[in-house]
Amino acid sequence: MSNIKPPHIDWLVNSGIKLKTSDGKNVEVWDFLHIDDDIVIAEWAKHFRNHYCSDHEIDELRDGTGLSRSDYLLNLVFPDSSLAPGPSIRAGDFGEILVADYLRFILQYWVPHFRYDDKAVRDESTKGADILGFKFFSKNESQKDILAVYEAKAKLTGDPVNRLQDAINDSVKDITKLRSSISLNALKRKLIREKRIEEASKVKRFQNLVDRPYKEISGAAAILSNNVYDEQLLKTTDTSIHPNNNLKLLVIKGEDLMPLVHKLYDKAANEA
């Protein structure tokens, strides 16, 4: 998996907005300043598509369906564009992938793909922790090594709701209901099945916090269209229920994000 920064990452810019929750926690607010650039969108669409289906597998996977690459992706792989809950699943997946890109290309974590290419039902969210990021500080295990477990919630249409609070509440479940442990196991199993043994070993390093200590960061992110971004609502967010003191809060906002999501899925399918 290449670590070359894709051009759409340049659209993600720290807004400089100073925002705090009701209990005094800092919230980073980033602007996603996308523009109508077909070259950037095309490259981003390929990056996006490969979360669901690698380009070298698509012909083998669609074999027997009688479907073109585009129809295979739109009808059997990508969430539906119009029938509920397809659009909300599209928005959620988009938000998760954008936060994964933030972790990978801005914060420099290793963020392997593992949530979308094994979906059994295209119009359902994948269970478990949303995003896993890993950071290593030496060739040998170090207590400085970091596991970042993020929950991402999107709200791209309709009226404002506090999706950051929803992400925090879900992040609590990553710890209390062991969802991060379950997701680590699922990721390692996937890597082993794909004979990516070295990467599986990297995941294994984070499966026993007691005997092999590391730093665990929890993250909660809200991805919002500008028309549903409400600073006063976000200021009511309360993190006091969260058991991890290493909690990072992120808001990404942008103009008309839902039309962008549909354009991205269409381009990802039509240029496969």
User: Helix or strand or coil: residue 208?
Assistant: coil
Residue at 172 is within a domain = yes
pLDDT attached to residue 1: 53
- Given the DSSP bridges, would you call strands 19-20 and 146-155 parallel, antiparallel or unpaired? unpaired
pLDDT attached to residue 2: 57
Q: What is the pLDDT of residues 52-67, one digit of tens each?
A: 999 999 999 999 999 9
Residue at 58 is within a domain = yes
Whole-prediction pTM: 0.96
Alpha helices in 3-52 (DSSP H): 38-52
Per the listing, tokens 């490969």 go with 50
Number of domains in the chain: 1
Residue at 185 is within a domain = yes
pLDDT attached to residue 240: 97
Residue at 2 is within a domain = no
Residue at 1 is within a domain = no
**DSSP assignment of the chain, as one string?**
---PPPGGGGGEEE----EE-TTS-EEEEEEE-----HHHHHHHHHHHHHHHS-TTTHHHHHTTTT--HHHHIIIIISPPSSSTTHHHHHHHHHHHHHHHHIIIIIS--B----SSTT-SSTTSPPSS-SEEEEE-SSSS--TT-EEEEEEEEEE-SSS---HHHHHHHHHHHHHHT-HHHHHHHHHHHHHHHTT-HHHHHHHHTTS-TTTS--EEEEEEEEEEEGGG--HHHHTT---TT-S-S-EEEEEEEETTHHHHHHHHHHHHHHT-
pLDDT attached to residue 120: 83
Residue at 3 is within a domain = no
Residue at 197 is within a domain = yes
Tens digit of pLDDT at every position of the chain (272 positions) = 557 899 999 999 999 999 999 999 999 999 999 999 999 999 999 999 999 999 999 999 999 999 999 999 999 999 999 999 999 999 999 999 999 999 999 999 999 987 888 788 999 988 889 999 999 999 889 999 999 999 999 999 999 999 999 999 999 999 988 899 999 999 999 999 999 999 999 999 999 999 999 999 999 999 999 999 999 999 999 999 999 999 999 999 999 999 999 999 999 999 99
Q: Which residues contact 248 (CB under 8 A, 6 or more apart)?
A: 28, 148, 150, 217, 218, 219, 220
Query: Which domain covers residue 170, as residue numbers?
Result: 9-270
Residue at 4 is within a domain = no
Please say whether the dihedral angle defined by the alpha carbons of residues 194, 197, 202 and 207, taken in this order, is positive or negative.
positive
